[in-house]
């Protein structure tokens, strides 16, 4: 596949991501499925170019606006080739061909520049959308720029070893035999960080179920559930089932895990992952809403309940750079209200003395600490179990009582988790 063909393919993919109201990773997967003639190596280059442009979108748009140009996918690509890759107008002309006079003029204006500019506002340099800026400044204070900069780097590839099928040492050995640099994760006891981003088809442990792709922070959230063999556990917002898998493996395939979600299609896809991992103690339960009658019928029937609530996703911007620019389907205020409703309903499932874990992949206080404060005020039968008591092996959290992880401080996605216990009266 020629360089020209790869660039044109990347431009087509950028236009598709802009047009379709779905996360970029889902659009990319669907786009490549209909273009099976593109070789694997070229797919990687095309996708990487897309994500480079997405990670620099605010800065590219600002630079385009300086010259009175619209922020279209094509103009962003031209600006990235000139400013991000340092290509000359003549080189870009040879690569893309068919440049109009206006585009040639733009490239002449950009030539010799860089993506950033001395007059660029801090929020633009940090790729921070206006809707999240005040909350993130409140969250990070003087560390705002450093924390946001960490979310502009591509995420590492983290794996979680399935102890029912392999040991971490064995998977590390297999990865190194494949020529991949791999090390144990710093905090997660079953995690492995791979130093390169290989084609996933090269990783046989994913096919056999010996390992799953899961960010180290997500692994730690599942660890806080502390599920024991023989217990009854609910993953109330199971989604694709990553944390469900981790919880079920903690239980050594004994006891019962119920994976709930309002999306039946997601649960069906998750069920295949459960089978591949060799886990038989999981059942799926589609819910109509968070107040589904099933919840009332099973009131007080579970030892552990995880609420991995739908959230703004600000902690995942490293791997989902387009998410910060997509207009939210609901405003933050509506999302916070939904989280409270979900947490209130799921709490009914916890038996006296049982554990409730509330988690998000958000960095915003309104979705995290403030949400827990409001829940405790409305539910005096629950108390916080401080992190030092719930998981004394976890050190360095950004909050003294809760698990609070950020890309800059911990090298993980941004996660929050609070461990709550229902008092026995």
Q: Note whether 112 and 39 are same-domain residues.
A: yes
Q: Note whether 117 and 237 are same-domain residues.
A: no
Q: What is the DSSP letter of 403?
A: E
Strands 191-194 and 182-184: antiparallel
The residue out of 169, 190, 213 marking a domain boundary is: 213
> Rounded distance, CA 343 to CA 309, Å?
8
The residue out of 213, 229, 255 marking a domain boundary is: 213
Specify whether the CB–CB gap between 281 and 235 falls below 8 A.
Answer: no
For residue 367, the domain's CATH number is: 3.40.50.150
Q: Is residue 150 part of a domain?
A: no
Specify whether the CB–CB gap between 91 and 97 falls below 8 A.
Answer: no
Active site residue 311: no
- 89-115 b/e with 16+ CB inside 10 Å = b? beebeebbeebeeebeebbebbeeeeb
| The residue count for the chain | 425
Q: Is residue 141 part of a domain?
A: no
400 has pLDDT over 90: yes
Q: Is residue 151 part of a domain?
A: no
Q: Note whether 342 and 410 are same-domain residues.
A: yes
Res. 148 pLDDT band, cuts 50 70 90:
very high
**Phi, psi dihedrals of residue 131, rounded to the nearest 5°:** -65, -20
Which pLDDT score, from 0 to 100, does residue 196 have?
Answer: 84
Residue 194 lies in domain = 157-213
Q: Is residue 367 part of a domain?
A: yes
Report how many domains make up the chain.
3
The residue out of 166, 196, 213 marking a domain boundary is: 213
330 has pLDDT over 80: no
Res. 332 pLDDT band, cuts 50 70 90:
confident
Greater confidence (142 vs 332) lies with 142
Q: Note whether 232 and 264 are same-domain residues.
A: yes
Which pLDDT score, from 0 to 100, does residue 3 have?
Answer: 86
Residues 39-87: tens digit of each pLDDT:
888 898 999 999 999 999 999 999 999 999 999 999 999 999 999 999 9
Q: Note whether 59 and 203 are same-domain residues.
A: no
Q: Note whether 199 and 276 are same-domain residues.
A: no
> Rounded distance, CA 119 to CA 253, Å?
58
Q: Is residue 234 part of a domain?
A: yes
Lookup: tokens for 295: 């919840």
Q: Note whether 203 and 233 are same-domain residues.
A: no
Q: Note whether 59 and 182 are same-domain residues.
A: no
Q: Note whether 124 and 168 are same-domain residues.
A: no
Secondary structure of residue 280 in the 3-state scheme: coil
Residues 89-126: tens digit of each pLDDT:
999 998 888 899 999 999 999 999 999 999 999 999 99
Residues 200-210: tens digit of each pLDDT:
878 999 999 99
Which pLDDT score, from 0 to 100, does residue 197 have?
Answer: 82
Q: Is residue 348 part of a domain?
A: yes
Q: Note whether 326 and 190 are same-domain residues.
A: no
Mean pLDDT, range 233-262, rounded to an integer: 94
For residue 208, the domain's CATH number is: 3.30.70.1170
Which H or E element spans position 282? strand 282-286
Which H or E element spans position 370? helix 369-378
Active-site residue, from 237, 260, 311, 361:
361
Lookup: tokens for 107: 């490239």
Q: Is residue 314 part of a domain?
A: yes
- Count, in order, helices (H) and strands (E) of the chain: 20, 12
341 has pLDDT over 80: yes
Torsion region of 88: left, alpha or beta (phi above 0 gives left; psi -120 to 50 gives alpha): beta
Q: Is residue 140 part of a domain?
A: no
Q: Note whether 221 and 209 are same-domain residues.
A: no
Lookup: tokens for 293: 């009658």
**Percent of the chain predicted with pLDDT > 70:** 99
Specify whether the CB–CB gap between 110 and 77 falls below 8 A.
Answer: no
> Rounded distance, CA 28 to CA 163, Å?
32
List alpha helices for 298-364, DSSP H. 332-347
Residues 19-40: tens digit of each pLDDT:
988 889 889 999 999 998 998 8
* Mean residue pLDDT across the chain: 94
Give me the residues paired with residue 157 across strands: 194
Q: Note whether 86 and 175 are same-domain residues.
A: no
Residues 248-279: tens digit of each pLDDT:
999 989 999 999 999 999 999 999 899 989 99
Closest CA to 364 of 130, 126, 133, 139: 139
């Amino acid at each position: 596949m020629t360089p020209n063909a790869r660039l044109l393919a990347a431009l087509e993919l950028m236009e598709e991501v802009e047009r379709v109201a779905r996360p970029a990773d889902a659009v990319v997967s669907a786009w490549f499925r209909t273009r099976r003639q593109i070789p694997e190596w070229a797919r990687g280059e095309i996708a990487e170019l897309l994500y480079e442009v997405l990670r620099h979108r605010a800065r590219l748009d600002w630079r385009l606006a300086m010259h009175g140009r619209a922020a279209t996918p094509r103009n962003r690509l031209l600006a990235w080739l000139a400013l991000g890759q340092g290509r000359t107008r003549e080189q870009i002309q040879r690569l893309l061909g068919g440049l109009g006079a206006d585009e040639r003029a733009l490239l002449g204006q950009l030539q010799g520049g860089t993506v950033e500019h001395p007059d660029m506002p801090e929020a633009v340099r940090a790729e921070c959308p206006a809707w999240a800026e005040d909350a993130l400044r409140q969250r990070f204070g003087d560390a705002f720029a450093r924390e946001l900069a960490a979310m502009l780097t591509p995420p590492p590839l983290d794996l979680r070893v399935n102890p029912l099928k392999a040991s971490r040492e064995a998977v590390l050995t297999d990865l190194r035999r494949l020529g991949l640099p791999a090390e144990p994760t710093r905090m997660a006891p079953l995690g492995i960080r791979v130093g390169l981003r290989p084609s996933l088809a090269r990783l046989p442990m994913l096919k056999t179920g010996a390992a799953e792709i899961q960010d180290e922070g997500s692994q730690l959230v599942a660890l806080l559930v502390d599920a024991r063999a023989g217990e009854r556990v609910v993953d109330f917002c199971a989604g694709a089932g990553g944390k469900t898998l981790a919880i079920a493996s903690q239980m050594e395939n004994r006891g019962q895990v119920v994976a709930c979600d309002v999306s039946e299609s997601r649960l069906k896809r998750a069920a295949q992952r459960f089978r591949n991992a060799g886990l038989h103690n999981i059942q799926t339960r589609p819910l109509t809403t968070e107040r589904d009658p099933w919840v009332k019928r099973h009131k007080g029937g579970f030892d552990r309940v995880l609420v991995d609530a739908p959230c703004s996703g600000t902690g995942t911007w490293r791997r989902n750079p387009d998410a910060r620019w997509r207009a939210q389907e609901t405003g933050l205020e509506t999302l916070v209200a939904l989280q409270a409703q979900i947490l209130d309903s799921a709490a009914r499932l916890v038996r006296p003395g049982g554990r409730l874990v509330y988690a998000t992949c958000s960095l915003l206080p309104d979705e995290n600490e403030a949400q827990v404060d409001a829940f405790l005020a409305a539910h005096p039968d629950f108390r916080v179990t401080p992190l030092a008591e719930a998981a004394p092996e976890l050190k360095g959290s950004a909050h003294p009582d809760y698990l609070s992880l950020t890309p800059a401080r911990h090298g993980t996605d941004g996660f929050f988790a609070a461990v709550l216990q229902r008092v026995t009266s």
